Amino acid sequence: MLDGLDVSVPTGTFAAVVGPSGCGKSTLTRLVAGLLKPDEGEVWLHGERVKGPRKTVGMAFQNPVLLEWRTILDNIILPLEIVAPRMPRKDCVDRAMELLEMVGLTGFEDKRPSELSGGMRQRASLCRSIVHKPDVLIMDEPFGALDAFTREDLWQTMRDLRRAEPFTAVLITHDLRESVYLGDQVIVLSGRPARTQYVMDIDLPEDRALDVLYTPPVADMLHILREQIKIAQGREEGGH
């Protein structure tokens, strides 16, 4: 599915990966997370080769996969119950509350996931994915199922989280605006088998506001990326 894919993400930066659907983006996330083993080649994280699942990874999916029988607070604490060293319950709660405040969910800690809206659930899911302070956060279209305005809210939340907590991030997305707004670099994958087709460094101010998406430089970036996607799609169709 992936072939000759060579991607490197500098520590502490945010990589957004875009590409035609079905090109193997989700496979990439599972490789980085150590859930899949590559047939050939290697995955390296922080100078260490990935051989299997590792505790220093956080994951978020399109589906928030919150556990219905746990409160929001207990959902966020879940990874802390797995990774060593175990923290005392009180520290876990403090850590979770701190994150809840950052994403604007204070007051919802005792609610069940079914009582929250889709956007709030995804916020809680993001909290869970970084509660154990992972080195790398892997996101597979986490905002894909949200409406446009909620999605933009979450982009801003994502930026706030990154400013507060340093982590390397890999974001799989279909949304070019999202990739430009959140990413330090945007990686365009070709159609199947996926190769790195194009890499764009995003040179926008660190504290960018959403308005930046409506400025001419960003419009140019989006245009270039769109052209690259078109090429990627063309290659895929030509391959059949």
Partner 1 sequence: MVRKIAVPILAIVVFLGLWEALVWVNDWPNYKMASPSDLPPAFWKYKELFLTMGWQTLWRTVAGLLLAVVFGTLLGMIIGFSRIARDALYPLLIGFNAIPKATLVPVISLIFIGQHDFNTVLMAFMISFFPIAVSVGIGLSTLEPEYRDILRALGASRMTIFLKIALPKTLPEFFGALKVAATLAFIGTNLVEIVSPHGRGLGALFKSGETNGDYPLMFAVLIALALLGIILYYAVVMLERYFAGWAERENS
State which of positions 54-73 bind partner 1 (CB under 8 A).
Answer: 54-55, 57-59, 61, 63, 65, 67-69
- Note whether 129 and 60 are within 8 A (CB): yes
- Looking at 28-36, 39-47, 92-100, 183-191, which segment touches partner 1 (CB under 8 A)? 28-36
Q: Quick one: 79 or 191, whose CB is closer to partner 1?
A: 79
State which of positions 170-229 bind partner 1 (CB under 8 A).
Answer: none
CA neighbor of 199 nearest in space, from 169, 223, 225: 225
Q: Does 114 bind partner 1 (CB under 8 A)?
A: yes
Among 83, 145, 204, 222, binds partner 1 (CB under 8 A): 83
CA 138 to chain centre: 5
Cα dihedral 119, 83, 132, 171 in deg (nearest 10): -60
Q: Quick one: 78 or 204, whose CB is closer to partner 1?
A: 78
C-alpha angle with apex 77: 74 to 78, nearest 5 degrees?
90
Q: Give the x-and-dash track for 35-54 against partner 1 (CB under 8 A).
A: x----------------xxx
CA neighbor of 181 nearest in space, from 136, 226, 214: 214
- Looking at 76-84, 149-157, 189-197, 220-228, which segment touches partner 1 (CB under 8 A)? 76-84
